[in-house]
């Protein structure tokens, strides 16, 4: 039994990112299914969010902090750039993904479109419609970045790519997301390359394959 536990749910892109880092590093962990806002989760995270990392007698919440902790604790292969400028670019993208991209792509589009399958409730079409221009703009920015590089920061996979990948992968299973990505070839190339990594294959949530879309 591993002394590293990830407490969360497979549906969470943030939980998936933590699992991806562990898989990239070959670190064994135990996945403990615990729902947001549950009594158990609030005992570990004051805001009841997922995921929470438990490492022996140490526990940590907030995904960005967890990702950095794992990369520092298990340094090979490194998932943070070496140069100050490349690391700053990584931090820029992590901030943008957390503050902007997640809201439009996941909360307002993907999770709304998938609501009938994952939450047994209808999609809010008004929310989806409102999200589309924001998602299109954000994907355009990413497509321009990947026209010139294979990764968000530096010349190898970083925590920024790991944070973005589950969002794009979930978005891609929606009709709107798939159409958006088909019209942004550089971003689609990045998505396919990242999806071919063993860490992605090993951690992809089964619900993505089972969706009746």
Q: What is the pLDDT of residue 212?
A: 47
- CATH code where residue 43 lies: 3.40.30.10
* Rounded CA separation 174/170 (Å): 7
The structure's pTM equals 0.95
* Rounded CA separation 135/101 (Å): 8
End-to-end Cα, the chain, rounded Å: 37
- pLDDT tens, residue by residue, 142-159: 999 999 999 999 999 999
- CATH code where residue 115 lies: 1.20.1050.10
Instruction: Give the SS3 label for residue 31.
Output: strand
List the structure tokens of 158: 């970083």
* Domain final residue pick, 39, 73, 107: 73
* Domain final residue pick, 27, 52, 73: 73
Indicate whether 134 pLDDT > 80: yes
Q: Do 145 and 167 fall into the same domain?
A: yes
Q: What are phi and psi of 33, to 5 degrees?
A: -75, 120
- pLDDT tens, residue by residue, 65-101: 999 999 999 999 999 999 999 999 999 999 999 999 9
Domain span including residue 43:
4-73
**Cβ burial, residue 159 (10 Å; 0-12/13-18/19+):** buried
30-33 β-sheet, strand order? 30-33, 4-8, 52-55, 58-61
* Domain final residue pick, 50, 73, 96: 73
CA 181 to chain centre: 17
- pLDDT tens, residue by residue, 156-200: 999 999 999 999 999 999 999 999 999 999 999 999 999 999 999
């Amino acid at each position: 039994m591993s002394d590293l536990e990830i407490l969360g749910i497979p549906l969470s892109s943030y939980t998936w990112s933590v699992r991806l880092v562990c898989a990239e590093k070959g670190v064994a962990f135990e996945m403990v299914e615990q729902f947001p806002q549950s009594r158990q989760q609030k005992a570990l995270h004051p805001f009841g969010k997922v995921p929470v990392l438990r490492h022996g007698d140490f526990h940590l919440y907030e995904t960005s902090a967890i990702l950095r902790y794992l990369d520092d604790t298990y340094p090979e292969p490194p998932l943070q750039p070496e140069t100050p400028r490349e690391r700053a670019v990584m931090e820029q993208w992590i901030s943008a993904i957390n503050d902007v991209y997640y809201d439009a792509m996941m909360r307002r589009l993907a999770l709304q479109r998938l609501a009938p399958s994952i939450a047994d409730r209808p999609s809010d079409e008004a929310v989806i419609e409102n999200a589309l221009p924001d998602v299109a703009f954000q994907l355009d920015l990413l497509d321009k970045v990947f026209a010139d590089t294979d990764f968000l920061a530096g010349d190898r996979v970083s925590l920024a790519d790991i944070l973005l990948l589950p969002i794009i992968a979930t978005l891609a299973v929606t009709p709107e997301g798939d159409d958006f990505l088909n019209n942004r070839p550089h971003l689609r190339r990045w998505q396919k390359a990242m999806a071919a990594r063993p860490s992605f294959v090993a951690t992809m949530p089964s619900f993505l394959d089972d969706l009746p879309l």
